[in-house]
Amino acid sequence: MSEQIHSEPSPVTNASEGFCVSPGDPPVFIDRRKNRDGTPPAGGERRQFGNSYAGLSPEAQELGRAVDAYKLQHHRRFINYEELLAVIKSLGYHK
């Protein structure tokens, strides 16, 4: 009879990240949004799109800043019309 050699899969190691995953273990999540000691990175939150209000009227600039502040406060990338209306009303506008 022929013998079959079964070898154990070797663990996957990434020493620079400080984790090791062996076959059968649950995946390890590494939150790269924070420093190794758990503190947030210096420099504030990274934004995907730049804030450019240069070509807008002062009122539109104020609205843009208020919408951005709302999105940061509520951790939202996009807002719906109800939220936009709430921001506009918070600036004192009414029908």
- Range(s) of the domain holding residue 60: 55-95
For residue 68, is it within any domain?
Answer: yes
Q: What angle separates helix 81-90 from helix 58-73, to the nearest 10 degrees? A: 120
**What's residue 12's pLDDT?**
54
Amino acid residing at 55: G
The pLDDT of residue 15 is: 47
How far apart (Å, rounded) are the C-alpha atoms in residues 8 and 41?
39
- Residue 81 placed within a domain: yes
Per-residue pLDDT of the chain in tens (95 residues, 90 and over written 9): 555 665 555 555 554 455 556 667 777 766 677 777 877 777 766 655 566 787 899 999 999 999 999 999 999 999 999 999 999 999 999 88
Domain count, the chain: 1
The answer to whether residue 59 sits within a structural domain is yes
The reported pTM is 0.48
Q: Has residue 24 been placed in a domain?
A: no
Question: Do the domain assignments include residue 13?
Answer: no
Residue 59, pLDDT score:
94
How many Cβ atoms from other residues are within 10 Å of residue 61's Cβ? 14
The overall longest dimension of the chain from CA atoms, in Å, is 88
